Amino acid sequence: MIQRSTRGYRAHGPKAALALGLSLALGAGCGGTSVTGLVPAKGRVTLDGGPWPREGTVSLMPVSARGGEFRPVAAKFDTQGNFSASAFDGAPGVYPGTYKLGVECLDGEPGMDAQGKPTGKNIVPAKYQSASTSGFSFEVKPEGTVDPVFDVKTK
């Protein structure tokens, strides 16, 4: 039962307290970062064997996955090329399986100019932009990855 008081609304009785407690407990489980079956998936992508001029993104496309969980994943990499994939709402890791990898790194901020043309050119050669054509793949084992290194060649 809710009664109006001079200080606002106030809930009364043990049923109201129980309902509030249950809704808070159930709400805490929704959208959290605890997903079972995920394992660490991290690696490094280099540009001609060295660092990147800017941060970029890798896309992980599942080829096979244990448990039938085929979910693509994107992860940001730093200028040294280090990435750590997170699959769900920031939960660290991915499902074990084999993944192909695509790479993107823009030379400027993404967006649109006044004529509606995209700004920021991708400095990654077209071959490496798509997971299906890059030639990069790795296996995420149930215990996690072993930090694979992928080198994007521009020359």
CATH number, domain with residue 90: 2.60.40
- Let me know whether 23 and 46 are in one domain: no
- Let me know whether 75 and 24 are in one domain: no
CA atoms of 123 and 104, how far apart (whole Å): 8
Assess if residue 125 is contained within a domain: yes
Confidence at 77, pLDDT banded by 50, 70, 90: very high
- Let me know whether 48 and 105 are in one domain: yes
- Let me know whether 62 and 136 are in one domain: yes
Assess if residue 57 is contained within a domain: yes
Look up the domain containing 25 and give its range: 1-30
Assess if residue 36 is contained within a domain: no
∠ CA(116), CA(122), CA(123), 5° rounding? 150
Confidence at 51, pLDDT banded by 50, 70, 90: very high
Asked whether residue 105 carries a pLDDT value surpassing 70, the answer given is yes
- Let me know whether 24 and 48 are in one domain: no
Assess if residue 103 is contained within a domain: yes
Asked whether residue 145 carries a pLDDT value surpassing 50, the answer given is yes
Question: How many Cα atoms within 13 Å fall on the side-chain side of residue 83?
Answer: 30
Confidence at 116, pLDDT banded by 50, 70, 90: confident
- Let me know whether 142 and 88 are in one domain: yes
Query: Which range is least confidently modeled, 64-68, 72-76, 84-88, 146-150?
Result: 64-68
Instruction: Label residue 137 left, alpha or beta by phi (over 0 means left) and psi (-120 to 50 means alpha).
Output: beta
CA atoms of 92 and 38, how far apart (whole Å): 7
- Let me know whether 64 and 94 are in one domain: yes
- Let me know whether 142 and 73 are in one domain: yes
